Amino acid sequence: MRKGQNPAKFVKDVSRPERITAALLNYIPFLSGFYAETLDVLKVSLESMRKDAGLPFDLMVFDNGSCAEVRDFLVKEKEEGRIQYLILSEKNMGKGGAWNVMLAGAPGEIIAYTDADVLFSPKWLSRSVEILETFPNVGMVTARPFRTPPEYYESTLKWARENARLEEGQFIPWETFLEFNLSLGQTEEENKKVYAETRDWRIVYKGVNAMAGASHWQFTAYKSTLEQFLPFDMDKPMGQVRQLDKRMNDAGLLRLMVSDPLAMNMSNTLGYLRGELKDSGRRKSASFGRRVLEIVFIKKMLMAVYNRIFNWYYS
């Protein structure tokens, strides 16, 4: 039997969410090996995201089954008011499963999604939203220009040829191009040929510049647009996320990027901030042991063993 009246009945006003929800997906199963520095990477990413984004936002974090140390950190961030919405998944649902929850549940009209290893620069959010609100029929906007597979922005070029000023050229500076590709584990030498043989597409519409292309690792989009592509049915934790890129292009939506680098992939270490990235990219020789490890059949065998052990513990 109820006694008395629920005090909530007398509350006259409730807090309204910000128009924009920044949604970060995190997964750190342990703090050693590949993941040794990833908690530090997450902390840097969160700090850079909040620093002069250019627009107010609420922060939503979806943790995809991380270890206790990481969960404790996130709970503390939530309790101290630096995270507005925190979802702690017991198990790793994969990126698709996490997206189904995050993109459907984020309260904002606009969702700025990011992986947990992205370093942001000032105005990253306001510049992204400017493009989102200026161009028509936008699917997603990524806060960094880089060269993405052309087959995923065919609809963008088709629209631009008919409705905007479209220019082809080397608009991404070599240093900006190289910086991002080195973060993916590539070398400077192999990128010289790619840079020379590929081009960028710059689109000018109503006085706003954008580059053709975008990517699933970081993007800003209207929630109503993203809902068209839910749910995602991905049967692997990674490797299938380009479904979103392809499906947006197939739907005729624009996939765009800001014209200068306002987001950077740190990957699993703080090596980029320590200045290690360029040195590793320019390294032309390696030890005998390292060269042995890079032999195709040995690398394949060792990676298979690594994956099997990882799955035993964390699948």
**Tens of pLDDT, residues 244-296:** 899 999 999 999 999 999 999 999 999 999 988 766 545 444 455 555 555 65
User: b vs e for 128-165, b when ≥16 Cβ sit within 10 Å of the residue's Cβ?
Assistant: bbbbbeebeebbbbbbbbbbbeeebbebbbebbeeebe
Angstrom distance (rounded) from CA 269 to CA 284: 22
- Can you give the pLDDT at residue 226? 96
User: b vs e for 15-46, b when ≥16 Cβ sit within 10 Å of the residue's Cβ?
Assistant: eeebebbbbbbbbbbbbeeebebbbebbebbb
Angstrom distance (rounded) from CA 52 to CA 75: 24
Rounded to the nearest angstrom, the gap between the alpha carbon of residue 79 and the centroid of all alpha carbons in its chain is 25
Of 180, 154, 315, nearest to 245 by C-alpha is: 154
Q: Is 147 helix (H, G, I), strand (E, B) or coil?
A: coil
Q: Is 274 helix (H, G, I), strand (E, B) or coil?
A: coil
Banded pLDDT at 149 (limits 50, 70, 90): very high
Residue 5 vs residue 211, higher pLDDT: 211
pLDDT in tens, 150-179: 999 999 999 999 999 999 999 999 999 999
Q: What are the structural domains, with CATH classification, of the chain?
A: 20-265 (3.90.550.10)
- Can you give the pLDDT at residue 216? 92
283 and 145 Cβ atoms separated by less than 8 Å: no
Residue 288's H or E segment, with its range, is helix 288-293
- Can you give the pLDDT at residue 57? 98
Share of the chain above pLDDT 70, in %: 83
- Can you give the pLDDT at residue 242? 80
Q: Residue 167's beta-bridge partner residues? A: 202
- Can you give the pLDDT at residue 13? 67
- The C-alpha angle 145, 146, 150, rounded to 5 degrees, equals 115
13 and 49 Cβ atoms separated by less than 8 Å: no
User: Six-digit token pair at 191?
Assistant: 């990128």
Instruction: Report the predicted TM-score, pTM, of the whole model to 2 decimal places.
Output: 0.87
- Contacts of residue 244, defined as CB under 8 A and 6 or more positions apart, other chains included, come to 99, 140, 216, 229, 232
